[in-house]
């Protein structure tokens, strides 16, 4: 039950962020990278644990089964690259660590 709640919370957070910001850039890959950069702090402010976004990227990578097109022709960064960027942004935006009491 705990893992299911975590996945649901992470998906809701990602959908909310992507829906809110939309895709306004000419290069969707750049826009997606920018949204990842803004996400961790906003996800935490909304009450969700931004580390859940990393786990969602793992689910996406596993679901693809390794059969993805090259990132340079994709509209989204590869899940592995997005997870690495999310880790960097969590460290940058939340230098004191992820606050406790967030929905995981």
User: What pLDDT does residue 19 have?
Assistant: 65
d(CA 63, CA 3): 17
The CA distance from 63 to 55, in Å, is: 12
Give the C-alpha separation, 104 to 97, whole Å.
15
- Which of the two residues, 1 and 95, has the higher pLDDT score? 95
pLDDT in tens, 11-41: 887 777 666 655 544 445 556 666 665 678 8
Q: What is the DSSP letter of 73?
A: G
- Phi first, then psi, for residue 103 (nearest 5°) are -70, 125
Structure tokens at 70: 């090259």
Tell me if residue 38 falls in helix, strand or coil.
helix
């Amino acid at each position: 039950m705990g893992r299911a709640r975590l996945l649901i919370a992470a998906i809701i957070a990602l959908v909310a962020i992507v829906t809110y910001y939309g895709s306004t850039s000419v290069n969707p890959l750049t826009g997606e990278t920018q949204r990842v950069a803004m996400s961790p702090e906003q996800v935490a402010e909304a009450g969700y644990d931004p580390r859940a976004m990393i786990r969602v990227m793992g689910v996406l990578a596993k679901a693809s089964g390794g059969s993805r097109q090259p990132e340079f022709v994709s509209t989204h960064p590869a899940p592995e690259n997005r997870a690495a960027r999310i880790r960097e942004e969590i460290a940058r935006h939340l230098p004191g660590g992820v606050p406790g009491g967030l929905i995981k």
